[in-house]
Amino acid sequence: MHAPGDVRVVERDSPTIIESTDAIIRLSATCICGSDLWPYRGVEAVDDTPMGHEYVGIVEEIGDAVKTLKVGDFVVGSFVISDNTCEICRAGYQSHCVHGTFVSQIGTQSERARIPYADGTLVATPERPDPELIPSLLTASDVLGTGWFAAVAAEARPGNTVAVVGDGAVGLMGVLAAKQLGAERIIAMSRHPDRQALAREFGATDIVEERGDDGAARIKELTDGLGAHSVIEAVGTQESLMQAIRATRPGGHVGYVGVFHEDVTVPGPELFFSGVHLHGGPAPVRRFLPELIDLIWRREIDPGKVFDLVLPLEEVAEGYRAMDERRATKVLLTI
């Protein structure tokens, strides 16, 4: 991204193995994330910054210390690099690994990428996937893994009512995850007919179009005045966070995965008296990758439906425009 609103395709040096724990992958597909729109809109600083952090591809080269992968493997990687061996990783919080770095610093809207700590970051599929599985596998790299973590953090489980704030790709994946985790009732908050339809396809039982305090009030109406057991916050604004907290019953859980804007604050007294649990942050996608790959491989879930525009990498600038103008929910880039 040369500057806000200005995405260009340029030649960069081919990546090479630097550390013995590295792998070089040739990407099969990548995509544009809602969070990529922040620098695009000038909310975050950008200056000739490589972009992209979602990726699937084929291992082309490995360092001497890489043990679990071989050249030719098809791999899915998390959007955060992790060693998967430190104490934080072993507790399931690989997105906070002591060796963690964000893949956005590498920039996987590209043909090739160097992935550090390859053993701890990448997971190989059982064999080369059918091309039709690639979009779903790509979602596991971020949006599916993030939606899944949000549902887990919100303690979605059999018998629960789960409300989902946000109808972007992550919110829709949160609906799918809540369904898989056995939630009885799933309330998607959306005012876009096409996204409502996809939410229903992924398992939503109810749609709420109201936003903010009206949205929270509607959730309470639907839950005998109590609020939902579990609320997924997949936007990241002050309004959406408060909507999530106010839609949750005392003792319930908010799983927040929408990256908070800088000015988001949590009012102390309201949090204190709400009695809700708050848990979230950058999702430890690596924790869930083996399970998600298995569900996709067995065709139990089809999260790849979230992509509604496919473009070649050369046309990435049009992909950003389409997402910025909300003409597309999620753009897949072929390579």
Which residues of the chain form contacts with Zn ion (CB under 5 A)? 82-83, 86, 89, 97
Q: Name which of 320, 258, 318 is nearest 283 in CA terms.
A: 258
- Smallest distance, Å, CB 291 to Zn ion? 19
Min dist CB 81 to Zn ion, Å, is 9
d(C-alpha 55, C-alpha 224), whole Å: 43
Minimum distance of Zn ion from residue 99's CB (angstroms): 6
Q: What number of H helices and E strands is found in the chain?
A: 12, 15
User: DSSP states of 217-244 as a string?
Assistant: HHHHHHTTTS-EEEEEE-S-SHHHHHHH
The Cα 52–Cα 74 span in angstroms is 19
Q: How far is the CB of 25 from Zn ion (least distance, A)?
A: 20
| Residue 194 exposed, middle or buried by CB count within 10 Å (0-12, 13-18, 19+) | exposed
Q: Which helix (H) or strand (E) segment is 333 a member of?
A: strand 331-334
Residue among 89 and 311 whose Cβ is closer to Zn ion: 89
Distance (Å, rounded) from C-alpha 291 to C-alpha 321? 34
| Residue placing its CB nearer to Zn ion in the complex, 123 or 186 | 123
CA dist 57 and 45 (Å) reads 29
Nearer to Zn ion, 58 or 86 (CB): 86
The nearest distance, CB 252 to Zn ion, in angstroms, is: 30
Nearer to Zn ion, 22 or 83 (CB): 83
Nearer to Zn ion, 101 or 238 (CB): 101
Cα separation, 100 vs 106, whole angstroms: 13
Query: Cβ atoms within 10 A of the Cβ of 141, count?
Result: 27
Question: Which CB sits closer to Zn ion, 109 or 121?
Answer: 121
- Decide whether 89 or 151 has the Cβ nearer to Zn ion: 89
Of 86 and 309, the one with the shorter C-beta distance to Zn ion is 86
Question: 242 by DSSP, 3-state: which?
Answer: helix
Residue 85 CB, nearest distance to Zn ion (Å)? 6
Tokens at 303, concatenated: 């999260």
CB of residue 71 to Zn ion, shortest distance in Å: 25
Report residue 169 as tokens: 């790709």
Identify whether the C-beta of residue 81 lies closer than 8 Å to the C-beta of residue 117: yes
Of the candidates 161, 153, 83, the residue with the CA atom closest to the CA atom of residue 122: 83
Which residue number, 57 or 100, has a Cβ lying nearer to Zn ion? 100
**Smallest separation (angstroms) from Zn ion to the CB of 19:** 15
Cβ 80 to Zn ion shortest distance, Å:
10
H or E element: which one contains 309? strand 309-312
Q: Where are the beta strands (DSSP E) in 33-139?
A: 55-62, 74-77, 80-81, 101-102, 112-115, 122-124
